[in-house]
Amino acid sequence: MEQLGADGWEHDPAKALAAASTVEDHLFPLVSVKFCHGAVIYSGNRKKMLLRFPILLCIIPLFEWLCLLATTTSAKVPAIIVFGDSSVDAGNNNFIPTVARSNFVPYGRDFEGGKPTGRFSNGRIPTDFISEAFGIKPYIPPYLDPKYNISDFATGVTFASAATGYDNATSDILSVIPLWKQLEYYMGYQKKLSTYVGENRAKETIAKSLHIISLGTNDFLENYYAIPGGRASQYTPSEYQNFLSGIAENFIKKLYGLGARKISLGGLPPMGCLPLERTTNFAGGNECVSNYNDIALEFNDKLNKLTAKLKKKLPRVRLVFSNPYDALLHVVKRPNEYGFQVSSMACCATGMFEMGYACSRASLFSCMDASKYVFWDSFHPTEKTNGILANYVVYNALAQFLH
């Protein structure tokens, strides 16, 4: 086994995972771990390091490592470019006619300045943390926000839209930005970037930038299982998964054709463990809905295989599958290991079904301290959880782009 530091932790992140299986029974001293911006994400006394399931590596020494990257090194990629749904929407929906918005309190109450931005959380979302970990900036701006321009977008931008999906029928439900439109915005962004830095430098920036794709949950929970006579009448669950993975494949190929070479394809979370699903699972004792979790696992397996397939087909592409499923499930099942007190219900309002406008200033029952909750509203994690998930993904999937 590698020699551990005096505090009991392997401080070389490259060796930490390799040492994991040999330190299961090691007891560690009192620890208190913070985000780079100061929010405590874990505080606890001696606990066994649960490295049969290496999620705790996300906490120590990972947070120290990522903070070090963010504060003492130059940017590892020139920009982070984001496509997806509410998991990575920083406020684009504020500027389109849709009810799928969160640009009002109490959303954003723990964001810098305490102002709502359109992020579906009390603070930052995963891509904000990823950007910071890569040494770029702590927030990725939304493309449609007029207060930002190409000088801001040159180092990172999100085209994501809450309530969208791979399936155009999903984005039609709440009139949000479909994936094909996000691609059109990306093409427009490339033209602006060429004007701003020159054509050759713009092409180099695109090739070296990290492109993140994060969506799919809405295709199942907002569309397939929610719309009678819709996709469920056309496809079996497996067929619908194939339909969606085909769209994902075409989208990645189009990104590649536009010059992208570093791409992260995100997987689904354990959808059945979202508060909205648990609190309505009366027959199951308000536990996670196993059917939805099984669907997520099956779809993730197909996306993982798609990633392997495209890596063989697309020359010089660096494509990774970033899977948050295991990390979030572990946090939900063992919240105390991460300093949480509640994982079955959300912080906002009653914590059972509210999100968007139902989670508003008028909500009388919202919790006082979101850091004690895994979920902010019935569908979306708190900032603290987002940080844990982001760091898990960086360490287990995106680390190759740090070199």
Report which of 123, 140, 188 is spatially closest to residue 387, judged by C-alpha positions.
123
Identify the H or E element spanning 256: helix 237-257
Give the amino acid at 8: G
Is the peptide bond between 78 and the residue preceding it cis, with omega within 30 degrees of 0? no
List the catalytic residue out of 85, 86, 209, 343. Answer: 86
How many Å apart are CA 76 and CA 85, to the nearest integer?
A: 25
How far is the C-alpha of 386 from the C-alpha of 85, rounded, in Å? 14
Query: Rounded to the nearest 10 degrees, how much is the dihedral formed by the CA atoms of 350, 351, 356, 360?
Result: 40
Token pair 């998964």 is found at 241
User: How many Cβ atoms are within 10 Å of 148's Cβ, its own excluded?
Assistant: 15
- Only one residue has tokens 């006394």, namely 45
Active-site choice (87, 167, 377, 378): 377
Q: Is the preceding peptide bond at 106 cis, omega within 30 degrees of 0? A: yes
Given the residues 87, 167, 264, 380, select the one marked as catalytic: 380
> In Å, how far are 40, 41, 43, 180, 340 from 372, measured between CA atoms?
10, 9, 11, 38, 4
Compute how many other C-beta atoms are within 10 angstroms of the C-beta atom of residue 240. Answer: 20
d(CA 176, CA 97): 8
Answer whether 126's CB lies under 8 Å from 389's CB. yes
Annotation marks residue 86 as catalytic: yes
Q: Output the DSSP codes for 160-202.
A: --TT--SSHHHHHHTT---HHHHHHHHHHHHHHHHHHH-HHHH
Cα–Cα–Cα angle for 246, 166, 212, rounded to 5 degrees: 95
Of 46, 44, 51, 42, which is closest to residue 16 (Cα–Cα)? 51
Quote the CA–CA distance of 82 and 72 in Å, as a whole number: 24
Secondary structure element (H or E) that encloses residue 389, with its range = helix 383-393
Residue numbers annotated as active site: 86, 377, 380
